């Protein structure tokens, strides 16, 4: 049997000198990333956005249909729900960094719609050097994983949000890391009362993030005054 090819990796797109791995440079290089086949079907790379010295980084799974079109993370329905939850928790989105584990939209066509498909292990492995480089460049006090894909990429590959949700854990990547649900999981809850209860619990998780940041004397994530 021929030896198995090692999976390709975005690491080959990174500047050799870590000092050159700034967010603007990473964003420019990621725009040309061909490390996995998703660049063939995605419209564009959707890189993270937010202050380059944000105290907290929020990490989702991958861009959705609208993010793929606009080239910005969390601007579709899940992003709007995240914005509402952040606002209710007293977190100003413009003061945090928001990104994804995988930077291209993976989808299948169903009729006229492009429907989200979960990224596979090789796509995550290929793409994660961008996320690691973003974390190193921003050096946030803490990282919030939105959903299992981010938590399994950054905490451990067996991580279950149902078990480890809301725990502030140690990590070599930042001061702390915690995982909560992905906002799109809330959109899928059909029963209105259950959806509202789940939203309030999500807001509670984000409020604890804001408290954690404030307790560390880091730049606040909420509005002044």
Residues in contact with ligand URA by the rule CB under 6 A: 60-64, 67, 73-74, 76, 78-79, 100, 184
| 126 vs 175 by CB, closer to ligand URA | 126
| 74 vs 107 by CB, closer to ligand URA | 74
Backbone φ and ψ of 175, nearest 5°: -65, -40
Please report how close the Cβ of residue 72 comes to ligand URA at its closest, in angstroms: 8
Please report how close the Cβ of residue 46 comes to ligand URA at its closest, in angstroms: 6
Please report how close the Cβ of residue 30 comes to ligand URA at its closest, in angstroms: 14
Residue 94 Cα to chain centre, angstroms: 15
3-class DSSP state for residue 176?
Answer: strand
Please report how close the Cβ of residue 57 comes to ligand URA at its closest, in angstroms: 13
Report in angstroms the alpha-carbon separations of 90 from 79, 98, 200, 215, 218: 16, 16, 13, 15, 15
What the block records as the tokens of 211 is 């408290």
Please report how close the Cβ of residue 2 comes to ligand URA at its closest, in angstroms: 36
Place of tokens 């995550």: 124
Report in angstroms the alpha-carbon separations of 129 from 13, 103, 108, 149, 178: 9, 11, 25, 15, 20
| 42 vs 63 by CB, closer to ligand URA | 63
| 130 vs 175 by CB, closer to ligand URA | 130
CA distance 46 to 131: 12
| 56 vs 175 by CB, closer to ligand URA | 56
């Amino acid at each position: 049997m021929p030896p198995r090819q090692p999976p390709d990796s975005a690491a080959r797109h990174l500047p050799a000198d870590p000092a050159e791995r700034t967010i603007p440079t990473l964003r420019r290089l990621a725009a040309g990333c061909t490390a996995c086949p998703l660049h063939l079907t995605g419209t564009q790379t959707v890189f993270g956005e937010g202050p380059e010295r944000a105290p907290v980084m929020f990490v989702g799974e991958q861009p959705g249909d609208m993010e793929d079109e606009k080239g910005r993370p969390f601007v579709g329905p899940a992003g709007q729900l995240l914005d509402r939850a952040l606002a209710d928790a007293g977190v100003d989105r413009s003061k945090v960094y928001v990104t994804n584990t995988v930077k291209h939209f993976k989808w299948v066509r169903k009729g006229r719609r492009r429907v989200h498909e979960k990224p596979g292990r090789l796509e995550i492995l290929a793409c994660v050097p961008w996320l690691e480089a973003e974390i190193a460049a921003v050096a946030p006090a803490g990282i919030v994983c939105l959903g299992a894909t981010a938590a399994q990429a950054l905490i451990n590959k067996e991580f279950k949000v149902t078990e480890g949700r809301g725990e502030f854990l140690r990590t070599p990547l930042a001061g702390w890391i915690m995982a909560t649900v992905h906002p799109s999981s809330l959109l899928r809850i059909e029963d209105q009362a259950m959806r509202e209860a789940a939203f309030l619990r999500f807001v509670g998780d984000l409020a604890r993030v804001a408290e954690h940041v404030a307790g560390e004397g880091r730049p606040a994530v909420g509005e002044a005054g």
